[in-house]
Structure 1
Amino acid sequence: MEIFLSWSGEQSKKIAETLKSWLPSVIQSLKPFYSSNDISKGKRWDSELSKSLNKCEFGIIILTEENRTAPWIMFEAGALAKNIETGRVCTFLFDIKDTDVVGPLSSFQNTKYDKQDVLKLLEDINNYLGDIKIEKEVLVRVFEKMWPDLDTELKKILTVSSKPKKEIRDDREILEESLRLLRNIHYKHTRFSKNDFEFNREERVIYEKEQQAVIFYTGETEEYWIGIDQLNTTGEILDFIFQVNGKRWCTSKHIREFINCIEEMSGIIFGTSAQGIICPGGALMEIDWENKKVSEFIIKETKFTKKV
């Protein structure tokens, strides 16, 4: 079985290199693949990478503190989920917690850097091998023998890259995200049918918190980019809806995803719904996303002369 190792950043690259040589030492029929080029530097998919992805039957996304929100690892995660059955894609968490995983990556099964969790991952991979899988007792015995090698190498990587620990996400942020997810679930189940919300990775819009931008995608291609400092008034937001709608690549799903992004931004930054920020009671508002300030937009009186 071919396994795709997704990485971004020096730390996760070293982990991918380690897993590439270690996995076949436990299950010999495994053939891990990882690209030696760091796609986080902006390199697009080449033919070799695409061909390998199409042949792979299992995907492991290596997540670290430095890459957990990196746009390019999101690209690979989306491509993996599109080409491989969802149950055959998981994340490998290195020195981060389950609650640190955000966005689409949170929908995958997590494997922590932990002996029992890694063994469970290997058991799952082994089960997908069908007729060529090895007996569980044999797998456990080989794993017990080879685990110290992996553990030693990963600890070296952790030591080299170690820096003062800090909480990646505070309790309030986690609580707010949970509340947003519950609101979205309620909204989706009370207003639309199930089919309206089938996730289509070819047509998606993402609020990129680190870049402070809304990014539109079709497949792997970034089609459009809007900085949140360009969405300062109700009119500007409405204007961008019409602008995007006029693009040849735009679909109704892009418009819906864009509105969802505005909703997400309002929840993250202001802790309330988009309607409460952008147009409460139908009022026109000015929004300062960076400083978390909202004020009513004052329309200057203008005299119009009617042409007869």
Structure 2
Amino acid sequence: MKVFISWSGERSRQVAELLNVWIQCVLQAVDPWLSTKDIDKGSLWFSEITNQLSSTQNGIVCLTKANLSNPWILFESGALAKGLTSNRVYIFLVDLKPNDVKDPLAQFNHTMPSREGVFQLIRSINNGLGEKALRENIIANVYETYWPQFEKGFKEILSNTPEEEIKEERPKEDLLNEILYSVRAIDKRLRKVEDTEQKISDSVKPRYLNFKSDSNIEFGEMGDRPIEDLELSVHLFNFLKSQKINTVKDIRNVDTTKLDNVALKHELIRVLTRLINLNKEN
């Protein structure tokens, strides 16, 4: 499986190169593609990158404070998002928090550089390997073996690269002139997803959409973890915070009937299901 790793800026580049090597240690069936490593001399770099983007179904975007609104990052994310129902785009938050990310990147899966966050990223990629996927117990053991290597390398990168501030947004007119193509491509795919979600919501039983969290649900050791460790969209993260949901176990107190957005309602139910399954596995 090919995984395209997108970057822009020095800190982002170093994290991308770390992921490029480290992921191959954990998942040997994965073939990461990184522009700084894999473009042959004499090749037209833009043409080569475009070809790779068009043939890749998984992408990791190394997002930092410096490249948060970078047109090139938005272009590559938009290209990766083609056929959003089958492609997976992971936004790796190098030095950011989920609420720092605005649309359209806020619509994608966010990965925090924590032990749990990176493990969920690896699990998601592994699940897409089909017959080459590692069994759950094997991937857990392999991950525990290689996590210290990633953690050390990542901390060294943050320590050795200059601290960056979130750049102020440029005027909308100026930014739109540069990224209009990317935004249109992403918006088009997102509209298709929203239409699909609406069709699903019209066909499922009201009992499912009126799901209420069960106060008897147990999350085991994960219960005390902050919700920042979960892979949540910015919209769901902000909703939970507005409801004073700070830890995993607090999610039991959420009533999804208060959610007007069908897509967020489904996302919350998927999160609950995943947490329950993880607790059973442990």
TM interval, short-chain normalised: 0.5 to 0.7
**CA distance change for structure 1 residues 119 and 32 in 2, over 3 Å: closer, same or farther?**
same
Deviates more, 1:54-63 or 1:139-148: 54-63
CA distance in 2, matches of 1:147, 1:9: 24
CA distance in 2, matches of 1:209, 1:160: 32
CA distance in 2, matches of 1:20, 1:80: 17
CA distance in 2, matches of 1:21, 1:167: 28
**CA distance change for structure 1 residues 128 and 157 in 2, over 3 Å: closer, same or farther?**
same
- Superposition deviation, residue 144 in structure 1: 0.3
Counterpart contact for 2:74–2:182, Cα < 8 Å:
no
- Superposition deviation, residue 211 in structure 1: 7.8
**CA distance change for structure 1 residues 92 and 86 in 2, over 3 Å: closer, same or farther?**
farther
Q: Does 1:102 align with 2:102?
A: yes
SS at match of 1:78: helix
Q: Does 1:9 align with 2:6?
A: no
- The number of residue pairs the alignment matches comes to 179
Uncovered stretches (5+) of structure 1, i.e. residues with no partner: 38-43, 170-206, 223-252, 254-308
Q: Does 1:153 align with 2:153?
A: yes
Counterpart contact for 1:2–1:32, Cα < 8 Å:
yes
Counterpart contact for 2:119–2:143, Cα < 8 Å:
yes
The structure with the largest helix share of the pair is 2
Alignment of 1:1-308 (within 5 A): 1-36=1-36, 46-82=46-82, 85=85, 88-163=88-163, 208-209=170-171, 212-215=174-177, 219=181
CA distance in 1, matches of 2:158, 2:142: 24
Counterpart contact for 2:81–2:89, Cα < 8 Å:
yes
CA distance in 2, matches of 1:211, 1:153: 39
- Superposition deviation, residue 91 in structure 1: 0.2
Residue type matched to 2:160 in 1?
V
- Alignment TM-score, normalising by the size of structure 1: 0.52
**CA distance change for structure 1 residues 214 and 4 in 2, over 3 Å: closer, same or farther?**
closer
Uncovered stretches (5+) of structure 2, i.e. residues with no partner: 38-43, 189-282
Q: Could you say which structure has the greater relative contact order, defined with CA pairs below 8 angstroms and 6 or more residues apart?
A: 2
Partner deviation per Cα, 1:210-232 (whole Å, 9 max, x = no partner): 8855427664699xxxxxxxxxx
CA RMSD of aligned residues (A): 3.0
Partner deviation per Cα, 1:92-121 (whole Å, 9 max, x = no partner): 001110011112100001001111010011
- Superposition deviation, residue 90 in structure 1: 1.3
Partner deviation per Cα, 1:110-162 (whole Å, 9 max, x = no partner): 00111101001111111111111110110010000000111111111100124
- Superposition deviation, residue 8 in structure 1: 0.6
Counterpart contact for 1:59–1:84, Cα < 8 Å:
no
- Superposition deviation, residue 48 in structure 1: 1.4
- Superposition deviation, residue 209 in structure 1: 3.9
SS at match of 2:67: coil
Counterpart contact for 1:3–1:31, Cα < 8 Å:
yes
The structure with the largest strand share of the pair is 1
Q: Following superposition, which runs of at least 4 residues in structure 1 exceed 6 angstroms of deviation?
A: 166-169
CA distance in 2, matches of 1:221, 1:69: 12
SS at match of 2:95: coil
Counterpart contact for 1:2–1:57, Cα < 8 Å:
yes
Partner deviation per Cα, 1:173-203 (whole Å, 9 max, x = no partner): xxxxxxxxxxxxxxxxxxxxxxxxxxxxxxx
CA distance in 2, matches of 1:156, 1:135: 31
Counterpart contact for 2:4–2:59, Cα < 8 Å:
yes
SS at match of 2:163: coil
- Superposition deviation, residue 47 in structure 1: 2.1
SS at match of 1:5: strand
